[in-house]
């Protein structure tokens, strides 16, 4: 806390404000007592907004506090998933502990956060900076709830927003092409992701009891995680919305039936998707097979998760489908993701409309100029697998 002391002088009294900054004693002198009192109030307010309520608690170093936060964190009463814990620890180790590990919580001020964020975005990129900033903000929000800080110093508008590149828009022909190109052991998985919309962890967590071939259903009850030092771990979905039943198209049901007879582990608890040795399929094995299949059909920069994106976008195109129905189908508790898919569909439709405008304009020009190719001489169009965001069918000769 600051204090005011009167200092007599021949020219009139002076008023000195004594205070501490970063543990060091400081003093500032004023001609008028009112100015000294105003400065004293400002110093004391700054001590609170830096956010310190309990000075002794504010001396805690960020590193130990954040590590304990990860271990004790609960979301809606549930502990964090193993993959989330691993992700948070990675962000702490790479970006937060080096910057704030030994820093007392009270000394993490808005300007310190801004400078750290700007440097991190410059050296590591916007997305790592956004992820790290969100974690820092969440940890310090808890410090506010614990009455250690009065306010959260993370105040960068839009600082936690990632600007990931738009993912490729696959179509049904591409999904079928990759499913036929991949090793037969993984064909059903590609179709289930591409037309059922399941997450990779949800598919890897399926057991025989979760598949109802007679009803054409798959029950999502678990997700499979790979935790360092523990291996494969089955856990409940992150939210209640993730626990769901999905009705499958006939093609996927038939593929799953063949798959269960040939590749799945025996018994009701046996894993549906397995690797070459018959053990539960690992993500690394799936990624390798996926890359090889994509390369075989000329696809680049396509991830397994893009299959789920295709399924959700295709569902969003269905006339009359509601946001709530789409949320239930893809397993989201919030309408945000469903709206993203619906927005993507709208943008895609606008792209198609713009393309058709160009085609119409070209045709009108050809009619006006009389440069119309007779139908019998038109070459047959060559249509191949999708290698980018659009399936491009071009004739050998442009009109």
Residue 309 annotated among the catalytic residues of the structure: no
Residue 308 annotated among the catalytic residues of the structure: yes
- Give the separation between CA 127 and CA 231, rounded to whole angstroms: 28
Q: Quick one: CA dihedral 107, 108, 111, 117, positive or negative?
A: positive
Write the Ramachandran bin of 311: left for phi over 0, alpha for psi from -120 to 50, otherwise beta: alpha
- Give the separation between CA 354 and CA 132, rounded to whole angstroms: 39
Find the catalytic residue in 187, 222, 259, 308. 308
Reduce the DSSP state of residue 377 to 3 states and report it. Answer: helix
Residue 332 annotated among the catalytic residues of the structure: yes
The token duo for 286 is 């799936």
Contact 288/210 with Cβ under 8 angstroms?
no
Find the catalytic residue in 93, 209, 305, 394. 305
Find the catalytic residue in 199, 222, 244, 329. 199
The DSSP-derived string for 225-251 is: EEETTTEEEEE--SSGGGSEEEE--HH
State the helix-helix crossing angle for 172-181 and 305-316, rounded to 10 degrees.
150
Find the catalytic residue in 19, 65, 225, 341. 341
- Which sequence positions are flagged as catalytic? 199, 305, 308, 332, 341
């Amino acid at each position: 806390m600051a204090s005011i002391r009167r200092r007599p002088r021949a020219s009139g009294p002076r008023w000195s404000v004594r205070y501490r900054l970063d543990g060091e004693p400081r003093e500032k002198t004023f001609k008028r007592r009112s100015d000294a009192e105003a400065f004293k109030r400002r110093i004391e307010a700054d001590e609170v907004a830096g956010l310190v309520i309990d000075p002794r608690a504010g001396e805690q170093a960020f590193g130990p506090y954040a590590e304990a936060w990860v271990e004790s964190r609960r979301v809606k009463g549930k502990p964090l998933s193993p993959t989330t814990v691993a992700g948070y620890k990675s962000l702490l180790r790479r970006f937060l502990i080096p910057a704030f590990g030994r820093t007392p919580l009270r000394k993490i001020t808005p300007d310190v956060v801004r400078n750290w964020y700007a440097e991190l975005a410059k050296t590591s990129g916007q997305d790592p900076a956004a992820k790290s900033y969100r974690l820092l903000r969440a940890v310090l929000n808890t410090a506010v709830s614990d009455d250690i800080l009065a306010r959260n110093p993370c105040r960068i508008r839009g600082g936690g927003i990632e600007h990931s590149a738009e993912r490729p828009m696959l179509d049904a022909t591409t999904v079928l092409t990759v499913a036929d190109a991949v090793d037969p052991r993984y064909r059903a998985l590609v179709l289930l992701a591409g037309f059922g919309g399941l997450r990779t962890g949800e598919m890897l967590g399926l057991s025989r009891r979760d598949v109802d071939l007679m009803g054409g259903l798959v029950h999502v009850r678990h997700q499979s995680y790979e935790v360092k030092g523990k291996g494969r771990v089955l856990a409940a979905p992150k939210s209640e919305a993730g626990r769901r039943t999905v009705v499958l198209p006939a093609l996927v049901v038939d593929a799953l039936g063949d798959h269960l007879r040939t590749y799945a582990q025996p018994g009701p608890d046996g894993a549906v998707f397995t690797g070459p040795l018959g053990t539960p399929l690992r993500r690394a094995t799936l990624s390798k097979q996926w890359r090889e299949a994509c390369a075989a059909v000329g696809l680049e920069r396509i991830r397994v998760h893009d299959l789920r994106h295709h399924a959700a976008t295709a569902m969003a195109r269905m006339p009359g489908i509601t946001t709530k129905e789409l949320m239930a189908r893809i397993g989201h508790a919030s309408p945000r993701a469903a709206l993203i898919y619906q927005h993507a569909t709208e943008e895609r439709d606008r792209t198609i409309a713009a393309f058709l405008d160009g085609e119409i304009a070209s045709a009108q020009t050809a009619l006006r100029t009389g440069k119309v190719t007779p139908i019998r001489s038109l070459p047959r169009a060559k249509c191949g697998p999708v290698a980018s965001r659009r399936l491009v069918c071009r004739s050998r000769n442009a009109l």
